Amino acid sequence: MFFLKMAFKNLTRHKRRTLITALIIAFAILIYIMTEGLMIGMTEMSFNNIINLESGHLQVAKKSYWEDRKELPLDNLISPTEELENKIEKTTGFKAMTKRLNFSVRLNNGIDELPVTGVGIDLGQDRKVFRLNKYLVKGRMPREGSSEIIMGTKLAELMGFKNGDYAILLFRTDEDTFNTIDGEIVGLFNTPHPSLNESSVFLPLSTAQSRLNVEDKISHYAIRLTEQDQAIPAAEELNSRLKDPYHAYSWKDAAQSLVTMLEMQEIETQVILAIILTLAAVGIINTVILSALERMEELGMMKALGMHEREIVYTFMLEAAGIGIIGGSMGIIMGVIGLAIFNINGIDMSALTAGGDMTYGFPLKGTIYAGWELNSFIFVFLYGVFISILASVFPALWAARKDPVKAIYHR
């Protein structure tokens, strides 16, 4: 209790200096909270876009196909069977599944040509797994068995198409011959997934299978579960029932490059916090040294009366902890206010990118809102207090080891 009273007294001796030092810590915590909140918000939006528009919660494909899936091969495809689909339906949390066939296409407008991804979709089941139909801004979804197609507004603008036009789809079949589809554009979509808007064309699955000469084969099954967190355990459970060469992959497997990038971003955020709080530690050291110099005679007198060195060190450490607690509390309050303002207004990505889309690996566009986690608030607060205490140790030891006589006479 004595040390606590002394530390509190020392904090109130120079209120301005204490407040300035605490503000350094507070701003470091504020920057961390806002950066972390932005990353959480962007991560959640990116993952939702991948799940709702690209991969579903799970995908089932042949292992050999999965390894080369980015090349959009037409070999190692799946021949759907009732036995395989029954195994998928028994997955814990199963909600719906759909068939998809991805293939490489060259989109032609009669003058220019652009490589894109063609996606054959099961129109009866696709909307139960994906949310593509919700982002149609013009027209409608294709009719089953027709040569109708839909594409993103960005791709249509790039190729000079409008709804109702005809586009030529040139592709290589399973027999290594070329074929075309003269597809009528019956719908345009604008999703929050930029790459989907710019590089994908959707058409009925039966049409794609017929023109590619792959019979009833598909590239993969896409599955929706009741909860996103069920994906990894559900994939493990399903793999215990599937026989080689079939394998189940979670949405995280499909977005592995993004997950890796986000892990690196998290490390960068921690490094930024460490740098800023290191600067704050310099302020703590300065405060403790100045406090020791101002009270040198007092410290010498206390040592002469029998106060131990460790007790003096404890006093300074408690003083630094007090600064850390004040700064941490201020930072948390400022962070909460900052996140609240962030979530009320959001950040319009089109304003930041001059009307363009995010091009740094995050599959998102539109307005971004921040996220938050209680663990992050607790961590950054405790980290700020820890840095404050740690920064006070060496100057406190320097002050405590002063000779009492020299300290009294301030020599």
Percent pLDDT > 90 in the chain is 41
CA distance 101 to 121: 7
User: Do 26 and 338 form a contact (C-beta atoms < 8 A)?
Assistant: no
Instruction: Return the closest-CA partner of residue 25 out of 371, 340, 386.
Output: 386
Neighbours of 7 (CB within 10 A): 19
Instruction: State the average pLDDT for the chain.
Output: 83
Section 398-408 average pLDDT: 62
Q: Which token pair is 105?
A: 């296409």
Residue 359 has pLDDT above 90, yes or no: no
Provide DSSP, 329-379: HHHHHHHHHHHHHHHHH-EEHHHHTTT----SS----SEE-----HHHHHH
Strand partners, 121: 100, 204
For the cut 70, the answer to whether the pLDDT of residue 294 exceeds it is: no
Q: Return the pLDDT at 349.
A: 64
Domain locations in the chain?
2-49+258-408, 77-244
pTM of the model: 0.77
Task: Pick the more confident residue, 342 or 171.
Answer: 171
Q: What is the pLDDT of residue 201?
A: 96
